[in-house]
Every structure is written in structure tokens, then in C-alpha cells.
């Protein structure tokens, strides 16, 4: 699929270049990569999130979590062992993978836990005080300018 031309959007706005890159990436992503491994994204509390990834069969030392330039990357490298098993059916995928998540501004990874084959990555959105809404007081000044008719 061809990329979408977002030039009209850029003419009337500032700072949406990341949005355009996200949109193009979503439209060109491989559909096969979207299925493995399965994952959930949930809201835990206000400004707290969790990504849960099913990583059954992987050890802690086979998993790698990195954040760079607003992209959370989870990689798993399955160590190959000479397995002499003969399967009648092999439905458990023990293959290496790389999964990327684009993080919104001010979202930080605070930790990760691995329990019962589920990798839970904890995130929090911390908006700086300068970016939070604030109320501006209106003063009644005695020396105000008045319009003359």
C-alpha cells in the first residue's frame, strides 16, 4: 500500500509529524507480525497503563526490553537446542520475536514483571507541571482602559 500524503495537514498544524509517521507505519505494517505474541494493553488507573505479553516458554534472560525515542521494543531470542522430539502436533510457538509499541509523549516505562508466562510492562504518563492546565486569576484593576465612543 502506498503512503498517504499528509502535506495538507502539515500546512495548518505544528508538531504532527510524529502522527504522520505513526499513521504510515500502521498502514504498512505486516499483518503477520500483529499476531505473535499475543498481548493486552490496559488502563490500570488514571495515567497508569500495563502491557501484558504472552511469553510462555521464554526465560527472563531470553527477553530484552528497551525504550528509545518514544518506542518500546520487546525482543525475545529463543536459544536453539537440538531437540530430538518427534511432535504429532506442535502448536506452541517458541520462536524469536520483536514487538514494538509507540509511546505517547510523557509516557515512561516504570518496570516489568515476568510471572506464569506473562510479561507485564508497567507504564505511567507523567505530565510536567508546566504542561498541566492552570487557572488564571482575573484581577479587578482600578486603572483600566475604557473605550471612548
> Are 47 and 109 contained in the same domain?
yes
Are 86 and 101 in contact by the 8 Å Cβ rule? The answer is no
> Are 47 and 21 contained in the same domain?
no
> Are 99 and 124 contained in the same domain?
yes
Q: What is the domain extent for residue 5?
A: 1-30
- Number of separate domains in the chain: 2
Q: What is the pTM assigned to this prediction? A: 0.67
> Considering the domain boundaries, does residue 144 fall inside one?
no
The overall average pLDDT reported for the chain is 81
Q: What pLDDT shows up at residue 60? A: 92
> Considering the domain boundaries, does residue 142 fall inside one?
no
Per-residue pLDDT tens digits for 15-68: 556 666 667 666 666 555 557 899 999 999 988 999 999 998 888 999 999 999
CA angle, 80 as apex, 68 and 71 as ends, to 5°? 10
Query: Is residue 108 scored above 80 in pLDDT?
Result: yes
> Considering the domain boundaries, does residue 139 fall inside one?
no
Which pLDDT band, with edges at 50, 70 and 90, does 111 fall under? very high
Q: What is the CATH number of the domain that holds 98?
A: 2.60.40.790
> Are 10 and 76 contained in the same domain?
no
DSSP string, the chain: -PPP--HHHHHS-SS-HHHHHHHHHHHHS-TGGGTSS-EEEEEEETTEEEEEEE-TT--GGGEEEEEETTEEEEEE-PPP-------S---S----EEEEEEPPTTEEEEEEEEETTEEEEEEEE---GGGS--PPPPP--SS------
Query: Is residue 128 scored above 60 in pLDDT?
Result: yes
Sign of CA dihedral 83, 61, 105, 8: negative
Q: What pLDDT shows up at residue 127? A: 83
Measured between alpha carbons, how far is 18 from 33 in angstroms, rounded to an integer?
A: 22
Q: What pLDDT shows up at residue 93? A: 73
What percent of the chain has pLDDT above 90? Answer: 36
Amino acid at each position: 500500500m502506498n503512503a498517504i500524503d499528509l502535506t495538507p495537514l502539515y500546512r495548518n498544524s505544528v508538531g504532527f509529524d510524529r502522527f504522520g509517521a505513526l499513521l504510515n507505519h500502521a498502514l504498512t505494517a505486516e499483518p503477520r507480525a500483529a499476531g505473535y505474541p499475543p498481548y493486552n494493553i490496559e488502563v490500570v488507573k488514571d495515567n497508569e497503563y500495563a502491557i501484558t505479553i504472552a511469553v510462555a516458554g521464554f526465560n527472563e534472560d531470553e527477553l530484552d526490553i528497551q525504550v528509545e525515542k518514544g518506542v518500546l521494543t520487546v525482543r525475545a531470542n529463543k536459544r536453539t537446542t537440538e531437540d530430538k522430539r518427534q511432535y504429532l502436533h506442535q502448536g506452541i510457538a517458541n520462536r524469536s520475536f520483536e514487538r514494538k509499541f509507540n509511546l505517547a509523549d510523557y509516557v515512561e516505562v516504570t518496570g516489568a514483571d515476568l510471572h506464569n508466562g506473562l510479561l507485564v510492562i508497567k507504564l505511567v504518563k507523567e505530565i510536567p507541571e508546566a504542561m498541566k492546565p492552570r487557572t488564571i486569576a482575573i484581577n479587578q484593576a482600578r486603572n483600566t482602559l475604557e473605550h471612548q465612543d
